[in-house]
Structure 1
Amino acid sequence: MTEETFAKKRDEVLQAMITFDAGDAKRIQHFLKVYTYAALLGRQEGLRAEVQQTLELAAILHDIGIHAAEAKYRSAAGIYQEKEGPAPARKLLEEVSGIPDAMIERICYLIGHHHTYKDVDGADYQLLLEADFLVNAYEDELSAKACKTFREKVFRTTSGTAMLNAVYGLD
């Protein structure tokens, strides 16, 4: 997908996700921050265009299952978000014509695994985990010690690690 075409599709997905989360400013703010970090980190890592595009759309939609998880399980726990997220993400992405089926499949896979820190099978997956943590660490007011522990256990990219260190003043 050309950059110009992708930019239009990305903006459609952003607007659709804002509409999906209408009235929930906290969730909208969250996915916008994760998207911004993911897009920046992907560019810094020099991802191929298709992988970058997949990462950006997955970052926008990564928490799409949270409302269903809260309604069905009375919990926003990651395992429930992963279970409930792919179906509404697929529906939203299919309504935005022109997104390739293979990309939709990968985005749904990433949404269904964005709280799973083992068997990470690509840069898009790794960077989604790192971008989400960059935002969650702030929103959850994690300590420097917790950030360092997560860095050691999960962070793998040069740009993500540098960003975590810079944002949270880690050594």
Structure 2
Amino acid sequence: MVNIVSATMKKMIEYFDGDVKRINHALKVYGFAKSIGELENIPEEKLKILEAAAILHDIGIKESERKYSSSAGKYQEIEGPPIACDILQEFILSKDFLDRVCYLIGNHHTYSKIDDIDFQILVEADFLVNIFEDAMEKEQIKTIKQKYFKTNTGLCYLDSMYCK
């Protein structure tokens, strides 16, 4: 049986078709999300949902740029879930699994909608990568830490990477 996470990763890489920056971003977010999820001992099913969502969290960006000439988060949230469903359709996944992955992708920039540990971890993992990629300043990092980081592992990573 094919590993859903690895197969999803392959499909994401093919979908981004040479856009190494976006591929690397997705892989880094995935790596942090998986690590935080495992170290926070989240249930196995939630971890698989988190891993799939992390790999595909920005999958709507190409379509957002095509339709709206923008990569803004609100457009990614609109365009991402249908593309993610297309990518995941070949796997035998429960409706609950698919719905949750799409919910995470469709809301990952809307922090007021964080409703469970998988969503919390996805947001933290994305911030860990974006802080570096966007060369954020110490004050901005401090604000992000106070407002959005809650898991012990995410806080540990953030402190070790950016707050020393």
Structure 1 counterpart of 2:127:
133
1: CA distance, partners of 2:26 / 2:103: 17
Report the Cα offset of residue 102 of structure 1. Answer: 1.1
Partner of 2:22: 27
User: Aligned equivalents of 1:99 and 1:167: distance in 2?
Assistant: 36
Match of 2:38 in 1: 43
Q: Which runs of 5+ in 2 are unaligned?
A: none
Task: Give the corresponding residue for 2:81.
Answer: 86
- Give TM-score, length-normalised by structure 1: 0.93
Q: Is the 8 A contact 1:9 1:99 kept in 2?
A: no
Alignment of 1:3-152 (within 5 A): 8-95=3-90, 97-152=91-146
Distance between the aligned counterparts of 2:39 and 2:142, measured in 1? 22
How many residue pairs are counted as aligned between the two chains? 164
Partner Cα separation in structure 2 for residue 68 and residue 74 of structure 1: 9
After TM superposition, which residue ranges in structure 1, 4 or more long, deviate above 6 angstroms?
A: none
| Percentage of identical aligned residues | 45
Q: Is the 8 A contact 2:30 2:125 kept in 1?
A: yes
Question: Is this contact kept in 1: 2:107–2:113, CA < 8 A?
Answer: no
Q: TM-score if structure 2 supplies the norm length? A: 0.97
> Residue type of the partner of 2:95?
D
* Aligned-residue RMSD, C-alpha: 1.1
Unaligned runs of 5+ in 1: none
